[in-house]
Amino acid sequence: MKKLIKHKNGQFVIIAVLMIAIMIISIGALMHRAVTYYKHEPWEEYLTLIGAIELNSRRLVELSLANYTNTDSPDNNTLRINLEKWQTNLTAIYPGYGISLGYSDCFLAYDWNETSSSSSANATFSLNIASIGLTGYKFMAKVFLNLTILNKVDNEINVTVRGEEGIPISSLRNDNFQVSISNSTMILNITSVTSYYEPKEALIYTIKCSENITTPITVRVWDERGIQVRAEYS
Amino acid sequence: MTVINGKKGQMRIIEAILASFIIVFALSFANIFAMTPTSPKYEATELQKLGYNVLHDLDEQALLARFVYNREWDNITAALRVMLPLDVYFNINVYYLNGTKVNDDAMFYGNVETFATSKNIASVTYGLAGYATKINDTYQAIYEPRTLILQLVRG
């Protein structure tokens, strides 16, 4: 036993093994840190949550504009009232996240009965989510719909319908349009709505009515969001 | 015989045994904290992300609000079945703000028992603001929020 203890040949091996062990333990600690960091920061989930709030806040602005343009006595406060309710209800829908949604510069407007008419809405939002330390995330919801009557030939009317940033709205059908004689309750029967692409205006809709049209006429359009625009051609 | 009588290598053997113990200990220590992506600890978070993404994708395509407000429950089930992996079971319910359930029919896919027995059930909450519906040629655009609760489990 004494001989074994006095033996001095194995020192280098012990030192080498200890160093390897320290390295492995260090790598283990690093792995632990990396793994727990990932576990506590599920960013993708938060990004989708932010995306869901942003998307539905925008939908709310669209919904308010649809409501505003489809009532006989439009109320300018519709958007503000809806946004106030949305602010309160968000905390109930997503409890425990500490969500606070602020809004500013909100308005609803329309400019109708012109050859080129439009409906528009705007709101700027500021989102805070306390549980993830997100503060002051700003986003804007701009909603716009334009209807322009280009011309009228016999029983056909050519129009363009554009959304935000002038992007043409496609896939509108017969029931998205209504043609009537201005200053009258007479609604003309639409037999077909066709569309074609043209270099200048991009997408032109041709509304064909069952009878010859006398001016002035009023054309109404409702897009897929239910937003209405009323244009007049004389 | 010289091999048996030789005592010079004894200490090396003991050193080697000690070294292997240290290495095994270090590896097991590191293994305690290591969580592979398939670990159950990750599972709920992964399913949550999956659920959020699926609902968000449906909402971006303006399908989710249409299905919910027009009470197209079969379409919700069909859309989720298409968008989720086959081994992910789901159960989705729609609620009014006061917590009352909107859907009378159950919307789920998979084995109901799996939801009762699984330890890793992910729950996703998604809020909708409203939807403009056309009734008798006039659009009704009323603010009426709905809450969707999607539960996911791997079968």
A44·B49 Cβ contact <8 A? yes
When divided into structural domains, chain B yields a total of 2
Selecting from A9, A10, A35 the residue whose C-beta is nearest the C-beta of B34 gives A35
* pLDDT digit string, tens, across residues A82-120: 999 999 999 999 998 899 999 999 999 999 999 999 999
Beta-strand ranges (E) seen in B1-137 are 88-95, 107-109, 122-135
Asked if pLDDT for residue B69 goes beyond 90, the answer is: yes
Burial of residue A180 (CB within 10 Å: 0-12, 13-18, 19+) is middle
Peptide bond into B40 cis (omega under 30): no
Q: Residue A183, SS3?
A: coil
Are B108 and B131 found together in one domain?
A: yes
Whether B40 and chain A come into contact, CB under 8 Å, resolves to: no
Are B148 and B100 found together in one domain?
A: yes
Interface predicted TM-score (ipTM): 0.75
B103-129: b (≥16 Cβ within 10 Å) or e: eeeebbbbeeeebeebeebbebbbbbb
Whether B23 and chain A come into contact, CB under 8 Å, resolves to: yes
B59·A55 Cβ contact <8 A? yes
Across the range B113-121, mean pLDDT stands at 84
The rounded distance, in Å, linking the Cα atoms of A10 and B86 is: 59
Are B144 and B90 found together in one domain?
A: yes
Domain that holds residue B9: 2-33
The pLDDT of residue B1 = 46
Whether B139 and chain A come into contact, CB under 8 Å, resolves to: yes
The rounded distance, in Å, linking the Cα atoms of B128 and A143 is: 18
pTM: 0.78
Are B115 and B143 found together in one domain?
A: yes
Are B12 and B81 found together in one domain?
A: no
Are B125 and B65 found together in one domain?
A: yes
Are B128 and B71 found together in one domain?
A: yes
The pLDDT of residue B5 = 55
The rounded distance, in Å, linking the Cα atoms of B19 and A6 is: 19
What tokens were used for A182? 């201005």
Are B29 and B48 found together in one domain?
A: no
Are B19 and B75 found together in one domain?
A: no
What tokens were used for B100? 């009352």
Q: Give residue limits of the domains in chain A.
A: 10-40, 42-234
* pLDDT digit string, tens, across residues A195-221: 999 888 789 999 999 888 888 999 999
The rounded distance, in Å, linking the Cα atoms of B88 and B81 is: 9
Selecting from B22, B34, B62 the residue whose C-beta is nearest the C-beta of A21 gives B22
Preferred mutation among A93, A143, A176, A227 to probe B, highest tally of B CBs within 10 A: A93
Please state at what angle helix A78-93 crosses helix A43-69, rounded to 10 degrees: 150
Are B74 and B8 found together in one domain?
A: no
Are B139 and B108 found together in one domain?
A: yes
